[in-house]
Chains A and B, each alone.
Chain A
């Protein structure tokens, strides 16, 4: 809780700065330009992703075809859910799509879920440990969402080439949607393709960033009103957290299936 407006805006600003690592001189300063690593984003993303991998790996190792128990039940529920979505959307067989979708769904969900931790809990701990800035929700960092979207974009290109070959893809690029309207077709196609990673990344980033910002704003209110707004927003945010993870996964599947089939 902060009293005056100046410190309020400072508080907000403070919460929106990443923990930087300058890759030029390996100091924790933000002046590295492009060669700066957001340690908090990378760290939390890695921690959550590795947790996901380890837990799922443990379950996969011990998976029995008998009666599933506990974690296996949970994991199988997720796996069959993702598998159903992929089967319904992606026509054709590809070994990559379903594991990719599962990874996206669980990883993005876990990163989004960090938003439901109290905004000051981990930064406070970090400050006690001597770290000035810490942002705990990796998906509020556009670097992560754009990174993921670019990876998906690369896969879209790869699938295009794989399904149609360079020749077929070139033909499609030149002759659709309008036959023989070459320049227009290329412009259309470029816009279409480039809009995919942008919408994919900015949607996730925007939703989570806004959610985080509202939590920060709620944290600025007097303590006795916080639960009044914080609780409904947190409950609503549970929905957003799952929904955004699902949308990212679903759109990835849709884009890849579009790439796999001809226009």
Chain B
């Protein structure tokens, strides 16, 4: 084992190689690796987030669907209710209208009858007046007689009505 100047040469060479690696190799590779690490970490985080969001979306959709179903059922229920109400009110209105028409007709009939009676009364009293004036001559106080006659006729009509 003979030591010689090779030793010094190797020390210098070694130093130069270390410097070269330190200056021109290590930082670049480390930088690339760290950047990739970060990218991968970000990607994984994004994927995680995506999964989370998808889950949320699924849940939200389910919720919305459920709510929509409930709303629809409620609407249908309301519509049924309303339809029933409308039919009911239409029936009630029709009944009312019918009875009103009947009332009206009854009133008309009563009026007609009254008018007919008045007419009859008038005609009877006229006939009676004519008959009486013919019977007693002309010296009859028409006005006086008329009142008596009217009274008579009223009695008559009352008798007839009863």
Please list the residues of chain A having a beta carbon within 8 angstroms of any beta carbon in chain B: 18, 23, 32-38, 41-42, 45-46, 49, 52-53, 56-57, 59-61, 63-66, 68, 72, 75-76, 79-80, 83, 95-96, 98-100, 102-103, 107, 141-144, 146-148, 150-151
Contacts and interface: CB of A to CB of B under 8 A. Distances in A.
B10 A41 contact: yes
Contacts of B31: 63, 65
Nearest to B36: A65
A135 to B, nearest CB: 11
A49 B14 CA distance: 9
Interface of B is mostly: helix
A143 B25 CA distance: 27
B18 to A, nearest CB: 5
Given A34-B5, A42-B13, A57-B20, 13 more contacts: A34-B3, A36-B5, A42-B6, A42-B9, A45-B10, A45-B13, A49-B13, A53-B21, A60-B26, A76-B33, A98-B26, A144-B7, A147-B6
Contact of A53 (B4, B11, B25, B33): B25
Contacts, number: 124
Contacts of B39: 65
B4 A34 contact: yes
Contacts of A46: 13
Contacts of B7: 143-144, 146-147, 150
B41 to A, nearest CB: 12
A60 B14 contact: no
Instruction: Please give me the 8 A-B residue pairs with the lowest Cβ-Cβ distance, nearest first.
Output: A147-B10, A65-B35, A60-B28, A143-B6, A63-B32, A99-B22, A99-B26, A36-B4
B30 A42 contact: no
Contact of A37 (B2, B5, B33): B5
Interface of B: 1-11, 13-15, 17-18, 20-22, 24-33, 35-36, 39
Which of the listed residues B11, B20, B32 has the most CB atoms from chain A within 10 Å of its own CB? B32
Interface of A is mostly: helix
Contacts of B24: 53, 57, 60
Contacts of A96: 18, 22
B34 to A, nearest CB: 8
10 contacts: A32-B4, A34-B4, A63-B32, A65-B31, A65-B36, A95-B22, A98-B26, A100-B18, A102-B26, A147-B10
